Structure 1
């Protein structure tokens, strides 16, 4: 299911100000996401590669880690220093890391 040997990091260890790419779908993003993250649904990653920083570490997140793991494998093969956020947004929320929503409601992980 997950690509082998994908670099990963705990949600609690993602540094403040890190470049975060959220590969979830639009409704998941709207419900709650990391403020300042770049939203690129997984299927769009190849065509939007140019939007992802090539000169910095990139932390990729989804709901639980599956889609982001696939994105990290692909990004790594295409020259991006990418790391999977273990446990995804669920782990991010559990770690008490800040989130925002697009709806104005209290953010949550969908």
Structure 2
């Protein structure tokens, strides 16, 4: 995937500013996802995005998240360059999500944690 610069029109959002009706796109690797993720998030690892574009909604708010916000900013910029006008980057990533008191779940049966 080409790493474009972040266009000025791809906003950063904070966990506190998000409603429950967003499409949260988690672009972290499988082990990071397994350790802990936001409930109702959708998982597509960063490097699978080009092959799985059809899974990303073109309507409604799409917020892209990774661990700290770097990879998700790249994916948000990539989506914007592909014509998505409804994307934002989660500032601070899953670490800020967790710090803000938002729920984190794990599918492993172990206590959830952000890697």
Q: Do the two structures share a fold, i.e. TM-score over 0.5?
A: yes
Point out the more displaced range, 10-19 or 40-49: 10-19
Structure 2: state its 5+ residue gaps: none
Q: Report the alpha carbon displacement of residue 77 of structure 1 after superposing the two structures with TM.
A: 1.2
2:6 paired residue number: 3
| Partners of 1:75 and 1:87 in 2: CA distance | 19
Q: Report the alpha carbon displacement of residue 17 of structure 1 after superposing the two structures with TM.
A: 2.8
- Normalised to the residue count of structure 1, the TM-score between the two structures is 0.94
Point out the more displaced range, 32-41 or 2-11: 2-11
1:99 paired residue number: 104
| Partners of 1:17 and 1:105 in 2: CA distance | 27
2:59 paired residue number: 55
1:32 maps onto 2:25 in alignment: no
What do you get for the CA RMSD once the two structures are aligned?
Answer: 1.4
Count of aligned residue pairs for this structure pair:
110
The runs of at least 4 consecutive aligned structure 1 residues that moved more than 4 Å come to none
